[in-house]
């Protein structure tokens, strides 16, 4: 369970997160949506401890995370951009991450096996293609069977087959009672994976609800149309303009 | 082994295989070896090699350090998402980079001295001083580079800042010292000169090496003052202490900035 309470963060004049309060339940996939600069990645980075909030707090399993590092043993993170030290081999990268998580008991090598990463163990990371690096990132995020998964646009760099493998894996993990947070611009990705949608606008949740609720509320049958409707409503609500 | 040590281990694995590091060692080797073949007397060779250490080593350290740290930004994000403290990540990376560069420096510069070691028995103290000063420079300027790369989001700004710092310490400072000596030539300027030298790690390094060589006799009264200060045990401790302070300050500033930074 992740509780986010009155979170505020500004970069200079720009209020990226503006008194954001949100609970993220275990056993669900929560998709964070919103236009560019709505605070999606800042929110994810606050949960990871990469960004220090100006005010408010985040509790993971009822413990505040501020200034701590150990709670990250519960988290698997898949960033958007995959760049590794060029001269390390694939095997060494996995050995390094395992060394940094000496407490990890469970190891989940399903993605590692399905992406056939073992076969390229001796290759240097600098010689791999962007898609292969993305697969490695995905396998790394899931490697320690984390209770919490944070995925930042996970399938953008993956080929269709690998993307399907990944989505199946995420859905399977959800039924294992994990908390999964996903940030994405791809509607079909969200539709396939997410149970709950959090639509951010100007650093606040404008809409929080299940997939059915969003469709019912907007009386649109398809998620993409429902999202466009939400986006228009959000824009009107903040800027007061009608088309 | 703590987390910093583990990160350091993989940093070393990565760096020791990198082409530019091997290239630097090879380049230093070729230049030093050439100076040996054409330099004649070993004392003169050491002075020529000293100029490389004073100018090139700080420059290499700041430029490569900043570029290296900027290039590892994305991977740092992945490391920061692991259950590891920021202090361990920063120190692991910094110590890894510094040791790799020191190793390249010691191999590139030290190998020619080993090859020609038969005539160098009297020069061991001088060579060791030279290599130690070089390693101090690497620690100081790599820490400065990491600090700049943490402090400035924009890599052009970061690189610009370290180049300006290098230029101030290498070129402008000499001008300041000459100007000072010229203005105060009628007065006992040595104590002030000593202070100015202590304020710049490159000058401090230069004096430490020069005092090991006979040419300090050519520096007349100033040389005698330096010899009085640095020639004693207390002076050596003082100089070593100053070098440690010069390394510690950018490390602490870098660490503080890295811990508070938003990624």
Residue A243: which pLDDT band, with cuts at 50, 70 and 90?
A: very low
Chain B residues whose CB is inside 8 A of the A72 CB are 81-84
Total residue count of chain B as it appears in this document? 263
Q: Which residue of B has its CA nearest to A9?
A: B262
Q: Which residue of B has its CA nearest to A101?
A: B83
Mean pLDDT estimate for chain A: 89
Residue A240 reports pLDDT greater than 80 = no
Q: What pairing do the DSSP bridges indicate for beta strands A196-201 and A29-33? A: parallel
Residue B223: partners with Cβ closer than 8 Å, 6 or more residues away: B216, B217
Average pLDDT over residues A93-107: 88
Q: Could you tell me how many CB contacts below 8 A there are between chain A and chain B?
A: 76
Please give the pLDDT value at position A233. Answer: 83
Please give the pLDDT value at position B181. Answer: 87
Q: Which residue of A has its CA nearest to B261?
A: A51
Q: How far is CA B26 from CA A144, B33, B48, in A?
A: 42, 10, 18
Please give the pLDDT value at position A242. Answer: 47
Candidate from A50, A83, A101 with C-beta closest to B263: A50
Q: Which residue of A has its CA nearest to B79?
A: A97
Q: Which residue of B has its CA nearest to A44?
A: B81
Q: Which residue of A has its CA nearest to B8?
A: A96
Q: Where are the domains of chain B?
A: 3-260
Query: Torsion angle, CA of B195/B200/B203/B204, rounded to 10 degrees?
Result: 70
Copy the structure tokens of residue B204.
């401090």
Chain A residues whose CB is inside 8 A of the B13 CB are 87-88, 92
Q: What is the ipTM of this complex?
A: 0.89
Question: B14 touching A, CB under 8 A?
Answer: yes
Count of CA atoms in the C-beta half-sphere (13 A) of B54: 21
Say how far apart CA A1 and CA A179 lie, in whole Å: 7
Please give the pLDDT value at position B214. Answer: 65
Copy the structure tokens of residue B100.
């790799």
Please give the pLDDT value at position B217. Answer: 60
Please give the pLDDT value at position B120. Answer: 77
Chain A residues whose CB is inside 8 A of the B77 CB are 50, 79
Please give the pLDDT value at position A84. Answer: 94
Which of A74, A96, A133 should be substituted to probe chain B, the one whose Cβ sees the most B Cβ atoms within 10 Å?
Answer: A96
Say how far apart CA A166 and CA A159 lie, in whole Å: 10
Under an 8 A CB cutoff, do B10 and A49 touch? no
Under an 8 A CB cutoff, do B262 and A51 touch? yes
Say how far apart CA B155 and CA A35 lie, in whole Å: 28
Say how far apart CA A129 and CA A123 lie, in whole Å: 12
- Whether the CB-CB separation of A175 and A102 falls below 8 Å is answered with no
Under an 8 A CB cutoff, do B10 and A92 touch? yes
Candidate from A48, A52, A81 with C-beta closest to B81: A48
Please give the pLDDT value at position A48. Answer: 95
Give chain B's radius of gyration (CA, Å). 20
Q: pLDDT truncated to tens, each residue of chain B (263 aa)?
A: 689 999 999 999 999 999 999 999 999 999 999 998 887 787 888 888 998 899 999 999 999 999 999 999 999 999 999 999 999 999 999 999 999 999 999 999 999 988 888 777 788 888 898 999 999 999 999 999 999 999 999 999 999 999 999 999 998 988 898 899 889 888 888 888 888 888 999 988 988 888 777 665 666 666 777 777 777 778 888 888 999 999 999 999 999 999 999 98
Under an 8 A CB cutoff, do B3 and A100 touch? yes
Candidate from B13, B72, B83 with C-beta closest to A69: B83
Please give the pLDDT value at position B219. Answer: 65
In sequence order, what DSSP letters do the residues of chain A get, joined into one string?
Answer: -EEEEEEEEEETTEEEEEEEEEEE-TTSEEEEE-STTSSHHHHHHHHHTSS--SEEEEEETTEE-TT--GGGGGEEEE-SS----TTSBHHHHHHHHHHHTTT------HHHHHTT-GGGTTSBGGGS-HHHHHHHHHHHHHTT--SEEEEESTTTTS-HHHHHHHHHHHHHHHHTT-EEEEE-S-HHHHHHH-SEEEEEETTEEEEEEEHHHHHHHHT-SSHHHHHHHHHHHHHHHHH----
Question: B218 touching A, CB under 8 A?
Answer: no
Candidate from A79, A96, A99 with C-beta closest to B77: A79
Please give the pLDDT value at position B216. Answer: 59
Residue A227: which pLDDT band, with cuts at 50, 70 and 90?
A: confident
Residue A217: partners with Cβ closer than 8 Å, 6 or more residues away: A207, A209, A226
Element (H, E) at B159: helix B155-167
Element (H, E) at B85: none
């Amino acid at each position: 369970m992740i509780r986010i309470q009155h979170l505020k963060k500004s970069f200079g004049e720009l209020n990226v997160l503006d008194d954001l309060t949100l609970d993220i339940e275990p056993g669900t996939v929560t998709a964070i949506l919103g236009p560019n600069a709505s605070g999606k990645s800042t929110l994810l980075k606050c949960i990871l401890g990469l960004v220090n909030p100006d005010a408010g707090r985040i509790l993971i399993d009822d413990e505040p995370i501020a200034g701590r590092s150990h709670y990250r043993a519960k988290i698997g993170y898949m960033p958007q951009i995959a760049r590794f030290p060029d001269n390390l081999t694939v095997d060494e990268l996995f050995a390094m991450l395992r060394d940094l998580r000496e407490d990890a008991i469970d190891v989940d090598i399903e993605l590692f096996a399905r992406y056939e990463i073992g076969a390229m163990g001796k290759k240097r990371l600098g010689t791999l293609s962007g898609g292969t690096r993305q697969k490695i990132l995905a396998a790394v995020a899931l490697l320690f069977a984390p209770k919490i998964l944070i995925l930042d646009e996970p399938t953008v760099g993956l080929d269709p087959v690998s993307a399907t493998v990944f989505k199946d894996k995420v859905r399977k993990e959800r039924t294992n009672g994990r908390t999964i947070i996903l940030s994405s611009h791809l509607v079909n990705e969200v539709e396939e994976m997410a149970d709950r949608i959090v639509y951010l606008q100007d650093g606040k949740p404008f809409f929080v609800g299940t997939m059915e609720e969003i469709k019912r509320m907007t009386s649109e049958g398809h998620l993409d149309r429902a999202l466009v409707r939400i986006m228009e409503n959000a824009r009107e609500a903040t800027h007061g303009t009608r088309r | 082994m703590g987390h910093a040590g583990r990160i350091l281990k993989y940093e070393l694995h990565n760096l020791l295989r990198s082409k530019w590091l091997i290239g630097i060692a090879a380049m230093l080797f070729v230049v030093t070896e050439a100076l040996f073949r054409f330099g004649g007397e070993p004392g003169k060779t050491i002075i020529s090699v000293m100029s490389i250490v004073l100018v090139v080593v700080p420059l290499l350290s700041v430029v490569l350090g900043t570029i290296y740290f900027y290039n590892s930004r994305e991977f740092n994000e992945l490391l920061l998402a692991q259950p590891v403290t920021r202090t361990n990540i920063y120190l692991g990376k910094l110590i890894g980079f510094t040791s790799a560069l020191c190793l390249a420096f010691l191999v590139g510069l030290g190998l020619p001295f080993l090859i020609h070691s038969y005539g160098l028995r009297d020069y061991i103290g001088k060579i060791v001083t030279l290599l130690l000063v070089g390693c101090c420079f690497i620690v100081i300027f790599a820490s400065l580079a990491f600090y700049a790369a943490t402090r400035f989001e924009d890599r052009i700004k970061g690189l610009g800042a370290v180049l300006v710092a290098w230029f101030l310490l290498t070129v402008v400072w000499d001008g300041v010292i000459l100007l000072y000596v010229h203005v105060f030539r009628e007065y006992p300027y040595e104590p002030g000169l000593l202070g100015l030298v202590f304020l710049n790690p490159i000058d401090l390094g230069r004096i430490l090496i020069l005092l090991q060589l006979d040419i300090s006799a050519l520096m007349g009264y100033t040389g005698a003052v330096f010899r009085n200060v640095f020639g004693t045990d207390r002076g050596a401790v003082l100089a070593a202490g100053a070098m440690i302070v010069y390394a510690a300050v950018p490390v602490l500033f870098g660490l503080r900035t890295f811990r508070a930074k938003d990624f």
